[in-house]
Amino acid sequence: FESPDVFLGRLTALRWSLVRQIMSAGEVSIRELARRVGRDVRRVHDDVLVLAELGLIERTTSGGVRCPFADIHVDMHLRKAG
């Protein structure tokens, strides 16, 4: 990512919650994922597209989603300007 702002701008609290839910569920359908988190299917679908684009989850051949990682570590380095 070109900056932490770009990454964090796309990884909202709701999307991070979806990643956690997917990690614990294994493969899960988008409809079931939406039910588990109490959200609209369409909005969850949109968030899943972003998370897949970020590389945090994968779509499966059966139409569900899964997280290919057992552990996700986010590390950022901030440096004083100038």
Tell me the pLDDT tens digit for each residue of 44-73.
999 999 999 988 999 999 999 999 999 988
77 pLDDT tier (thresholds 50, 70, 90): confident
Is the distance from CB of 28 to CB of 66 less than 8 angstroms? yes
Tell me the pLDDT tens digit for each residue of 10-22.
889 999 999 999 9
Q: What is the pLDDT of residue 33?
A: 96
Grouping H, G, I as helix, E, B as strand and the rest as coil, residue 6 is: helix
Q: What is the DSSP string of 21-70?
A: HHHHHSSB-HHHHHHHHT--HHHHHHHHHHHHHHTS-EE-TTS-EE---S
Q: What is the pLDDT of residue 81?
A: 81
Grouping H, G, I as helix, E, B as strand and the rest as coil, residue 16 is: helix
Q: What is the pLDDT of residue 1?
A: 65
For residue 28 the two structure tokens come to: 């899960």
pTM, two decimals, is 0.84
